[in-house]
C-alpha cells in the first residue's frame, strides 16, 4: 500500500507529509521547495524572516515583509510540484502583515499556531476585496486539544461562515515551543495519539453537517514511515514532520546547526523554560548551560518580535539566540529539536528522506 494524497479542498499534495515550519531561518525557500518537489507540503517559517535585511533594526516589519516575499518567490521559482505553505505564529507582533503578505503572494496554505488564530478568515475576506479576486489560500490552525479545535470551528462559523481547511495537532514530543504545561509533557492524557483522536471527534460533527472535509494532521514526534502509518490508521489524513528535515542538504540552516542533531545524544534533548513563558524542547549546549547557571544577563531587545516575550525578566533574547543558531554560532545560541532528534545520524537529501519514508510505510503496510 502506498502513501495516500493529502487534500485541502481543491488543492492536493501527492504525499500526506507536511514539512514543519521551523524558525528562525531553518525552513526557508530551499527546504520548502525541495519538499514540495517531492510531493509534500513545503513550509516557510515567517518568524524573523527579515533577519538578514540590513535595515531591519530601523524597519523590522518592512524587513520581514520583504524577506517573506523574497522567500516565497524564490521557492516558487524552484518548485515543479507540491504545495507551498507559510507558518505564521499568532504571537508575532507583525502577524497581520505576515498573513496579508502570504495571501497576496498566493501561497497555498497558511499554518498558524502559538495561540488560537480566531480572526484568520477575516484576512481572506479583506484580501479578496483588495485583490478583487477569490483567494484560494487554505487556512490550517495548529491546536493541541479537541477543545481548541471545537472553539475554532464554532468561532469561525459564527463570525466568518468559514470552517478550517484542516488542523495540525501538535503533541508534546515536538521541537521548539510547546503548547503544554511542563507536567503534561509525559502525561498519557496529552500524548499525540490521544490528541489526534480527540480532534477528529471534535471536528466530525462540523464535517458532516457542513459537508466539508477537514483533514487532521498529526505532528510532534513523527519520525518514521511506520509512525506515519500508525497515525493514518488512527484517522489522521497526514503528518507534519520537522526534525527529520533539519539534517537534509536543502535545509536552510548552517551546517553546524545540522551537525548538532547528528552529534546529539538522547540525554542532550532537554526541556527549557523560554523567555516567551512556555516550555520548549532543545538540545543542551554551553549557551543553555550558562543560562541555567545564571551566567546570562538581560540585554535590550531590538527585535520586538513576540507579544508574549517578557524581555525585562529574560536572561537572553530568544530571537537573537535563534538567529545565532541559524548562522551556526552555537556559543551564542541554541538548537530547538524534537524528542527524536538524537536518532538522526547523517545528512541526506530531501529526496532520499522522502523515499525512505515511503519505503518504510509500504513495508509496514504490506
201, 121: one domain? yes
pTM above 0.85, yes or no: yes
Position of cell 548551560?
A: 289
140, 178: one domain? yes
- The DSSP string of 108-157 is SEEEE-SS--TTHHHHHHHHHHHHTS----EEEEEESSHHHHHHHHHHHH
Give the domain range for residue 49: 6-253+345-365
Beta-bridged to residue 54, according to DSSP, are: none
For residues 339 and 220, what is the distance between their CA atoms, to the nearest angstrom? 8
For residues 317 and 113, what is the distance between their CA atoms, to the nearest angstrom? 21
Cα distances (angstroms) measured from residue 307 to each of 69, 92, 178? 23, 6, 16
For residues 229 and 358, what is the distance between their CA atoms, to the nearest angstrom? 10
For residues 80 and 77, what is the distance between their CA atoms, to the nearest angstrom? 8
97, 225: one domain? yes
- Give the domain CATH number at 15: 3.20.20.70
Contact present, 274 and 280 (Cβ < 8 Å): yes
For residues 164 and 239, what is the distance between their CA atoms, to the nearest angstrom? 17
Which grid cell is 307? 507579544
Burial category of 25 from C-beta neighbours within 10 Å (exposed 0-12, middle 13-18, buried 19 and up)? buried
305, 195: one domain? no
73, 122: one domain? yes
225, 264: one domain? no
Contact present, 336 and 282 (Cβ < 8 Å): yes
260, 159: one domain? no
Question: Into how many domains does the chain fold?
Answer: 2
45, 160: one domain? yes
353, 235: one domain? yes
The helix (H) or strand (E) run that includes residue 6 is strand 6-8
Per-residue pLDDT of the chain (366 residues; tens, 9 = 90+): 899 999 999 999 999 999 999 989 999 999 999 999 999 999 999 999 998 988 888 898 999 999 999 999 999 999 998 999 999 999 898 999 999 999 999 999 999 998 999 999 999 999 999 999 989 999 999 999 999 999 999 999 999 999 999 999 999 999 998 988 888 889 899 999 999 999 999 999 999 999 999 999 999 999 999 999 999 999 999 999 999 999 999 999 999 999 999 999 999 999 998 877 788 999 999 999 988 887 655 555 554 545 454 555 566 778 888 899 999 999 999 999 999 999 999 999 999 999 999 999 999 987
Amino acid at each position: 500500500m502506498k502513501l495516500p494524497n493529502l487534500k485541502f479542498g481543491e488543492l492536493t499534495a501527492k504525499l500526506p507529509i507536511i514539512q514543519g515550519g521551523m524558525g528562525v531561518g531553518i525552513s526557508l525557500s530551499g527546504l520548502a521547495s525541495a519538499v514540495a518537489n517531492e510531493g509534500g507540503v513545503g513550509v516557510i517559517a515567517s518568524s524573523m524572516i527579515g533577519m538578514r535585511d540590513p535595515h531591519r533594526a530601523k524597519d523590522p516589519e518592512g524587513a520581514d515583509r520583504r524577506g517573506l516575499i523574497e522567500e516565497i518567490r524564490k521557492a516558487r521559482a524552484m518548485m515543479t510540484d507540491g504545495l507551498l505553505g507559510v507558518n505564521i505564529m499568532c504571537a508575532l507582533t507583525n502577524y497581520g502583515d505576515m498573513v496579508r503578505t502570504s495571501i497576496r503572494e498566493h501561497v497555498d496554505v497558511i499554518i498558524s499556531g502559538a495561540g488560537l488564530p480566531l480572526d484568520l478568515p477575516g484576512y481572506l475576506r479583506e484580501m479578496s476585496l483588495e485583490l478583487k479576486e477569490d483567494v484560494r489560500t487554505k487556512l490550517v490552525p495548529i491546536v493541541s486539544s479537541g477543545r481548541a479545535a471545537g472553539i475554532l470551528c464554532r468561532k469561525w462559523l459564527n463570525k466568518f461562515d468559514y470552517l478550517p481547511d484542516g488542523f495540525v495537532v501538535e503533541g508534546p514530543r515536538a521541537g521548539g515551543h510547546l503548547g503544554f504545561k511542563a507536567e503534561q509533557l509525559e502525561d498519557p492524557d496529552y500524548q499525540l495519539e490521544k490528541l489526534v483522536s480527540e480532534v477528529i471527534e471534535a471536528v466530525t460533527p462540523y464535517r458532516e453537517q457542513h459537508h466539508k472535509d477537514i483533514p487532521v494532521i498529526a505532528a510532534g514526534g513523527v519520525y518514521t514511515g511506520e509512525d506515519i502509518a500508525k497515525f493514518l490508521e488512527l484517522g489522521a489524513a497526514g503528518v507534519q514532520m520537522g526534525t527529520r528535515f533539519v539534517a537534509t542538504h536543502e535545509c536552510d540552516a548552517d551546517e553546524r546547526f545540522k551537525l548538532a542533531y547528528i552529534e546529539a545524544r538522547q540525554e542532550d534533548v532537554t526541556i527549557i523554560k523560554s523567555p516567551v513563558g512556555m516550555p520548549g524542547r532543545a538540545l543542551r549546549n554551553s549557551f543553555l548551560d550558562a543560562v541555567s547557571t545564571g551566567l546570562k544577563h538581560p540585554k535590550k531587545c531590538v527585535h520586538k518580535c513576540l507579544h508574549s516575550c517578557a524581555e525585562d525578566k529574560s536572561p537572553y533574547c530568544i530571537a537573537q539566540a535563534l538567529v545565532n543558531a541559524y548562522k551556526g554560532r552555537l556559543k551564542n545560541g541554541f538548537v530547538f529539536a524534537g524528542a527524536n532528534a538524537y536518532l538522526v545520524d547523517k545528512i541526506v537529501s530531501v529526496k532520499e528522506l522522502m523515499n525512505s519514508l515511503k519505503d518504510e510505510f509500504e513495508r509496514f503496510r504490506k
